[in-house]
Chain A
Amino acid sequence: MSEPMVKVHNVTKVYERGKQKIEVLHGLTLEIPKGDFVALMGPSGSGKTTLLNLIGGLDKPTSGEITVGGNRIDQLGSGQLANWRAHNVGFVFQFYNLMPVLTAEGNVELPLLLTRLSAAQRRKNVAVALEVVGLGDRAKHKPRELSGGQEQRVAIARALVSDPQLLVCDEPTGDLDRKTADEILGLLQVLNREHGKTIVIVTHDPKAAEFARRTLHLEKGQLLEQAA
């Protein structure tokens, strides 16, 4: 595959709880090529969310280097990092995390308020994103008028709308039934195959991992030898 989308080099992450220090990641190194679809698995507490948050630029490593799309994001200040996230990465969470006061449309438009796009252009992009996730007809619905699967589709549309190259998803199907979960995973697969998005998902579900191109196993803050 081509040059890496994500390069994690010798990264440690230490959380400090008062005097107590917990090292969650111990010198972890990892490469994810452009266009890859990686499932990150491992027992609870192994550091999956921690790693995903570092890759997505929500948090900074204690030491080591993280390069995403050619940017050393571990060296960015919090303001720069926020700006970088707005343009380079989309997030999907287990509990959707939509704004309850906004319609589906409004939720998807939210990230575009950080761009220079005109109102008309924003509306157009929102419509396209909702179409991609198959929710063109639910634009005016509030989150509580939608099913879990539909809410997650709105969240995916929100992650997509500013056209980032990288999507990070933390247990995106953790709260959904099998059938809905498979639909969501199928959608991610389409985004990976047809739209060329690089995708990293964290999951506990081995069936979910089957939708990915490859699976990485994390245990006690270290990657196990990966099966190709």
Chain B
Amino acid sequence: MTRTGFVVANLFRKRTRTILTLLSVIMAFLLFGLLQSVNTVFSSGADFVGATRLFVQARVSFTTPLPRSMVPKLEAIPGVARVAYQQWFGGVWQTNTPLIMFALDPQRYHDVYAEWKMPEAQWQAFEQTRTGLIVGRQLANQHGWKLGQKIPISSNIWPQKNGSKAWEFDLVGIFDGKDEDWQKRTNLAFIQQDYFDEANQFGLKGRTNFFILKLAPGADAQAVSKTVDAMFENSPDETKTQTEKDFNISFVKQIGDIGLIVRWILFAVFFTLLLVVGNTMAQSVRERIPELAVLKTLGFSDGSVFGFVLAEAFALVLAGGLIGLALASLAGAMVEKATGGQFLLRLDASVWLLGVLAIVLMSLAVGLLPGLRARRLEIVDALAGR
């Protein structure tokens, strides 16, 4: 037997109680892991470090189109290397499979996104075919689409000039992602902006949903973003310029302040946990006052006895915490897989670090008072049951 063995043996004095407490710690940390990783995704905003692209949308909402006449102005800003733009098409495959589909300028888009891998011949075909369509590998595989095929797609927002909602495109290219991360996003479809402009009923010419600025190497992303928004301030088309990541999550942010919600939930969870584990520890010390006195009688110092109690609290919270975080990692990976990589719920290092910090703080919070009580214990009084 060792001191550690003794601590563990004491934990299992009341097996059921320990297991129930352990389960509540596991649940709390599972929740913590998941919510915190959601939070990391949503609160990592305004981080311009390493940004290579900026997204420019209308300040009111990204559903409000901006004039494409902005392109030369944007391109003139120092630090901007190239500008592309994308128009939401709202494509639907067959009767009810929505597609993530945009109209865009092939050349510009190709210049801005080096992450897509597609033979140059196919890029050229896309540029030269008015009714051209390119799709990502995932999407092509999903529907069994082959190069050269005619793909009928309807749009519930953009009917053609003849009033028909049915469009037909020629599949001229299939692109891959440069790595696993990008490969997961190949569920996109792109058509030509020129064709869209000509063919759609509303003649929504010269406008687009958003611009994508490719930054020049070494450009200051934050400064460029400020310059853009300042440039169009007080114009009919005020802009909001943000990083790619922020842009991607901005629609979720509209639901509310995710960070705040997450913090409140976690606060409630940990407060409850504090009461549950704190009560377990207090009870476990209370019911063995004489045993703790015997330890001191045998020559264990006040500090050692304090250490035993604190170690018990720590072991309980550590075991539960690590299991909970591990389960959260697992659940996150499952969510990621189930959503085809759309929803990245990763417990990154910062979540684990925060988790370990929470474990340490929680152990102290629940172990300190019972530990001090054990430390203060007078042997003769405790032995006599006073």
Contact = CB atoms under 8 A, between A and B. Distances in A.
A191 B316 CA distance: 42
Interface string B274-308: 00000000000000001100111111111100000
A46 B32 CA distance: 60
Given A53-B380, A78-B302, A85 B297 contact: yes
A114 interface: yes
Given A93-B383, A97-B290, A97-B291, A102 B302 contact: no
B339 interface: no
Interface string A91-122: 10100010111100110011101100001000
Nearest to B383: A93
A58 interface: yes
A49 B1 CA distance: 32
Nearest to A111: B298
Interface stretch (B8-16, B157-165, B216-224, B324-332): B8-16
A68 B12 CA distance: 39
B298 A59 contact: no
A82 B291 contact: no
Contacts of B302: 78-79, 82
Contact of B380 (A58, A83, A87, A114): A58
Given A53-B380, A59-B379, A59-B380, A97 B294 contact: yes
**Majority SS at the chain A contact face:** helix
B6 A113 contact: yes
A59 B298 CA distance: 13
Contacts of A106: 1, 5-6, 9
Question: Chain A CB within 10 Å — which of B2, B290, B294 has the most?
Answer: B294
A63 to B, nearest CB: 17
Contacts of B291: 97, 99-100
A99 B287 CA distance: 12
A113 B2 contact: yes
Contacts of A114: 298-300
Interface string B1-34: 1110110011011000000000000000000000
Interface in A115-150: 119
Contact size range, A: 20 to 34
A32 interface: no
B380 A86 contact: no
B13 A87 contact: no
A91 B296 CA distance: 11
Contact of A58 (B6, B10, B13, B379): B379
Contacts of A84: 299
Contacts of B297: 58, 85, 91
A113 B290 CA distance: 19
Contacts of B299: 82-87, 111, 114
Question: Chain B CB within 10 Å — which of A58, A79, A101, A102 has the most?
Answer: A101
Contacts of A58: 297, 379-380, 383
A163 to B, nearest CB: 13
A85 B301 CA distance: 10
Contacts of A97: 290-291, 294, 383
Given A100-B13, A101-B12, A113-B3, A86 B298 contact: yes
Given A83-B301, A110-B1, A114-B298, 16 more contacts: A58-B383, A59-B379, A79-B301, A82-B302, A85-B298, A87-B299, A97-B290, A97-B383, A99-B9, A106-B1, A106-B9, A109-B1, A113-B3, A113-B6, A114-B300, A119-B2
